[in-house]
């Protein structure tokens, strides 16, 4: 269940908390919290509206690594908040471990 998903206009990252919620539901909630249409998000990310639709409806498993980062940045959230990240992948926000 999603506890909270809200984006701030002051440049703060949206807070999205996941509790075993499928990534597609978290993605849709974050997009709606950012007040973006699927088309607007697709334009910001550089993908098709159809791809965003497929991701939100879980007809596509996961986007590429770089697309995950672009989606998160467009929604002003941490990538890890949208997509589960295995331990062997370095931090998506560019921090060196």
Read off the pLDDT of residues 34-80 as tens digits, 9 standing for 90 and up.
999 999 999 999 999 999 999 999 887 778 889 989 999 999 988 88
Q: What is the pLDDT of residue 13?
A: 54
Exposure string over 50-80, b if 16+ CB within 10 A, otherwise e: ebbebbbeeeeeebeeebbbbbbbbbbbbbb
Q: What is the DSSP letter of 11?
A: S
β strands within 1-97, DSSP E: 5-6, 15-16
The DSSP symbol for 87 reads: T
pLDDT digits (tens, 9 = 90+) for 5-41: 444 455 555 554 444 667 788 899 999 999 999 999 9
- How confident is the prediction for the chain on average, in pLDDT? 75
Q: For the domain 5-82, what is the CATH superfamily, name and number?
A: lambda repressor-like DNA-binding domains (1.10.260.40)
Q: What is the pLDDT of residue 78?
A: 85
User: Domain segments of the chain: what residues?
Assistant: 5-82
Please give the Cα distance from 85 to 79 (Å, whole number). Answer: 9
Angstrom distance (rounded) from CA 41 to CA 48: 9
């Amino acid at each position: 269940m999603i506890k909270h998903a809200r984006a701030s206009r002051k440049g703060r990252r949206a807070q999205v908390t996941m509790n075993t919620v499928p990534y597609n539901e978290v993605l849709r909630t974050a997009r709606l919290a950012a007040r973006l249409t699927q088309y607007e998000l697709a334009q910001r990310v550089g993908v098709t509206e159809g791809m965003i639709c497929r991701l939100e409806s879980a007809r596509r498993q996961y986007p590429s690594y770089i697309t995950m980062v672009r989606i998160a940045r467009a929604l002003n959230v941490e990538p890890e908040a949208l997509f589960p990240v295995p331990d062997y992948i370095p931090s998506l926000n560019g921090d060196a471990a």
